[in-house]
Amino acid sequence: MAKILIPTPLRQYVDKKDSVEVGGATVGEVLTGLTGQFPDLRKNLYNDEGKLRSFVNIYLNDEDIRYLGKDATAVRDGDTITIVPSIAGGE
């Protein structure tokens, strides 16, 4: 199983947990499992077409999956997936 680190703004959708363990062979499978367990999280990660939202960054063991195999990136037991939503603001 992979450990998924949940950022503070999204914890309200995962029973206030800071991490969740989910099985899967790829990042996409793990994220599908996560949103299967916590359906309210899906709209925060994916757009209406089922693609990851552009402001959501996913890292596998500190590597951005956009530079690996995207959602087809292989996951091994003990890997850590980090969800990092982009934050914008200011004047």
pLDDT of res. 38 = 97
Q: Is the pLDDT of residue 91 over 80?
A: no
- Dump pLDDT digits (tens) for 13-59: 999 999 999 999 999 999 999 999 999 999 999 999 999 988 999 99
DSSP state of 14: T
pLDDT of res. 85 = 87
User: Would you identify the CATH topology of the domain 2-85?
Assistant: Ubiquitin-like (UB roll) (3.10.20)
Q: Distances from the Cα of 30 to the Cαs of 15, 90, 91, in angstroms?
A: 18, 34, 37
Residue 89 — very low, low, confident or very high, per pLDDT cuts 50/70/90? low
For the chain, the structural domain boundaries read: 2-85
Residue 90 — very low, low, confident or very high, per pLDDT cuts 50/70/90? low
- What Rg do the C-alpha atoms of the chain give, in angstroms? 12
